[in-house]
């Protein structure tokens, strides 16, 4: 089956995201745009993943919601991890939180909201989520894979927090499953990136939505045997995708 995907979406748990990024709004926006599969990838946290999954079950049972996380390396590179299930995602989150670097004077906790599927307040996330971890890019890749996850360097076309611009090169031995470009990347830019990579790897495009207005019609379509995490992983392994 041909599946439209957006694997980089934030909720109001991310301190840089809008208050409107509640589960039901995310689900409805995905439906409006014809997206079949999304991943919830808040900064260094997974607290709202289960709520979006529950909201989709109520309001959009055909929408597949995958647990994810956007981890910041000590080099300040953003890496997406897509996980098999919520339980594993929470286990990874616990490791990430124990390796977050303190940011003195930073207090975004009042805007780091964890809510239920109907947007009822549960609690604030106490860890400062916009900080870096003390893990290197390679260590984050290995860590995500150790939790049976999918590794995707985020928005590599961007100067801020993008792998290529931040490191100055693309590590030849980095173990990843795909790379992501931003919603602003042109086909010319994508082709330039493809030629610059040291090896052939799937390139996907995501919205990186922090606000409802950030959502875009899907540009990445995958040929999946099943609309599941395993189907996604198999598609990346078999390199079966196209961009719209």
The enclosing domain of 217 has a CATH number of 3.20.20.140
Nearest one of 39, 48, 55 to 19, comparing CA atoms: 48
Query: What mean pLDDT is reported for the chain?
Result: 95
Domain residues for the domain of 151 are 2-243
CB neighbour list of residue 159: distance below 8 Å, 6 or more residues apart: 165
- Reported as a pLDDT band with limits 50, 70 and 90, residue 241 is low
Residue pair 66/93 in contact (Cβ under 8 Å)? The answer is no
Instruction: Dump pLDDT digits (tens) for 62-120.
Output: 999 999 999 999 999 999 999 999 999 999 999 999 999 976 556 666 689 999 999 99
Alpha helices in 74-171 (DSSP H): 86-98, 137-146, 163-167
Element (H, E) at 25: helix 23-32
Write down the pLDDT at residue 63: 99
- Tell me what percent of the residues of the chain surpass a pLDDT of 90: 91
CB neighbour list of residue 54: distance below 8 Å, 6 or more residues apart: 23, 116, 117
Write down the pLDDT at residue 240: 53
Question: Could you give the number of structural domains in the chain?
Answer: 1
């Amino acid at each position: 089956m041909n599946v439209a995907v957006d694997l980089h979406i934030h909720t109001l748990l991310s301190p840089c995201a809008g208050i409107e990024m509640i589960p039901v709004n995310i689900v409805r926006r995905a439906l409006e745009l014809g997206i079949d599969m999304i991943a919830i990838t808040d900064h260094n946290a997974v607290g709202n993943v289960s709520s979006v999954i529950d909201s989709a079950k109520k309001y959009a049972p055909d929408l597949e919601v995958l647990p994810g996380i956007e981890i910041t390396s000590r080099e300040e590179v953003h890496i997406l991890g897509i996980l098999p299930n919520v339980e594993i995602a929470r286990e990874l989150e616990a490791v990430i939180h124990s390796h977050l670097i303190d940011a003195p004077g930073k207090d975004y906790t009042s805007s780091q909201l964890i809510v239920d599927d109907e947007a009822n307040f549960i609690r604030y996330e106490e860890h400062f989520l916009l900080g870096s971890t003390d893990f290197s890019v390679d260590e984050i890749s290995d860590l995500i894979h150790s939790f049976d996850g999918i590794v995707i360097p985020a928005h590599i076309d961007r100067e801020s927090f993008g792998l290529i611009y931040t490191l100055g090169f693309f590590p030849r031995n980095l173990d990843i499953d795909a790379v992501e470009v931003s919603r602003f990347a042109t086909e010319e830019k994508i082709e330039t990136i493809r030629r610059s990579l040291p090896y052939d790897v799937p390139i996907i495009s995501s919205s990186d939505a922090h606000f409802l207005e950030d959502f875009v019609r899907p540009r990445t379509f995958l040929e999946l045997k099943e609309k599941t995490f395993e189907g996604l992983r198999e598609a990346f392994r078999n390199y079966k995708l196209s961009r719209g």
